[in-house]
């Protein structure tokens, strides 16, 4: 059940008319004082879906312009085209007239449909969440929003958390859910795909947070209740940039979200 301090409450928006919405960046969703990008994207995604009258973000691209700090934000939306199945819209979140995040997205309905089904990928093989590794208060790398979402890392990928070195692979596998039994809806997926520490922490590269420039999420289905199995990976660190991909699978083994972000390489 969602609590007052939960994700739904922390991403809620209030309709002000004319496509404008009011929201609030809640305390505790930050990394080093700056609100998590996926959390902000979820809030803008809600405004975009409310403005377009469709239930789910189908694909959404966010460009991160300035760090978000706790406090009120204004979201202005603009519909580009309302089609039969999808509505395309833009939205910008601002605080004190300063744009924080601008978005281009499509809303629609990702309820199950009859479809050709094919894949050459499986969910990551993860031990039971009980034997996976949580973030802990003592961890140098634990982002402060660790009590807002529950993460459990594959034990093989979690050495870097305790200063034991990485795996040499820029990959991080683990579980994601919201605390207190709050279900993860399609907006929660926008948060999930940006909730893990940078994958390069595992590649024995110089560490540092990797500021997100752009994040695109494809929401492929509504998740079933329960933990999401997630795989994060990076393949190319070059010319000042890196990309990070995420896949999230629900408890029935279905792919529910896929994302890629472009981020800045930390300065050596």
Give the interface with a second copy as residue ranges (CB under 8 A): 58-59, 61, 63, 65, 80-81, 83, 86, 88, 90, 92, 99, 102-104, 106, 110, 112-113, 115-121, 169-170, 200, 203, 205-206, 213-214, 216, 218, 220-221, 235-241, 243, 254-255, 258, 260, 262, 265-266, 268
In this complex, which beta carbon is closest to a second copy, that of residue 5 or of residue 90? 90
**Least CB distance from residue 227 to a second copy, whole Å?**
20
**CB nearer to a second copy: pick between 22 and 262:** 262
CB of 144 to a second copy, least distance (A): 26
Cβ 114 to a second copy, closest distance in Å?
8
Angle at the Cα of 208 from the Cα atoms of 206 and 212, rounded to 5 degrees: 125
Residue indicated by tokens 């499509």:
106
In the complex with a second copy, the residue whose CB is nearer, 251 or 262, is 262
**Cβ atoms of residues 227 and 129 within 8 Å:** yes
**Residue 45 parent element (H or E):** helix 37-52
- Whether residue 1 contacts residue 182, with contact meaning beta carbons closer than 8 Å, is answered with yes
Tokens at 46, concatenated: 């809600």
Tokens 């990309």 locate to 243
Nearest Cα to 189, choosing from 65, 60, 78? 60
- CB 18 to a second copy: min, Å: 18
The nearer residue to a second copy, 58 or 192, going by C-beta atoms, is 58
**d(C-alpha 228, C-alpha 254), whole Å:** 10
């Amino acid at each position: 059940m969602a609590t007052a301090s939960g994700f739904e409450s922390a991403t809620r928006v209030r309709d002000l008319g004319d496509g404008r919405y009011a929201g609030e960046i809640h305390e505790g969703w930050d990394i080093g004082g700056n609100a998590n990008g996926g959390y902000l994207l979820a809030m803008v995604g809600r405004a975009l879906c409310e403005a377009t009258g469709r239930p789910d973000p189908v694909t959404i691209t966010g460009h991160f312009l300035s760090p978000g700090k706790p406090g009120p934000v204004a979201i202005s939306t603009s519909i580009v085209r309302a089609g039969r199945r999808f509505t395309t819209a833009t939205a910008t979140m601002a605080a004190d007239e300063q744009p924080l995040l601008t978005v281009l997205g499509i809303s629609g309905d990702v309820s199950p449909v009859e479809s050709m089904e094919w894949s050459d990928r499986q969910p990551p093989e993860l031990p039971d969440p009980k034997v996976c590794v949580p973030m802990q208060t003592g961890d140098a790398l634990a982002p402060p929003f660790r009590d807002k979402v529950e993460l459990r890392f594959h034990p093989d990928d979690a050495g870097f958390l305790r200063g034991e070195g990485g795996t040499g692979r820029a990959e991080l596998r683990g579980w994601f859910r919201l605390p207190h039994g709050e279900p993860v809806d399609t907006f929660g997926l926008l948060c999930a795909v940006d909730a893990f520490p940078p994958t390069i922490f595992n590649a024995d590269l110089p560490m540092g947070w990797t500021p997100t420039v752009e994040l695109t999420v494809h929401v492929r289905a509504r998740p079933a209740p329960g933990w999401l199995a997630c795989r994060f990976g990076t393949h190319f660190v070059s010319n000042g940039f890196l990309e990070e991909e995420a896949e999230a699978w629900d408890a029935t083994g279905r792919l529910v979200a896929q994302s890629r972000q472009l981020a800045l390489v930390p300065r050596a």
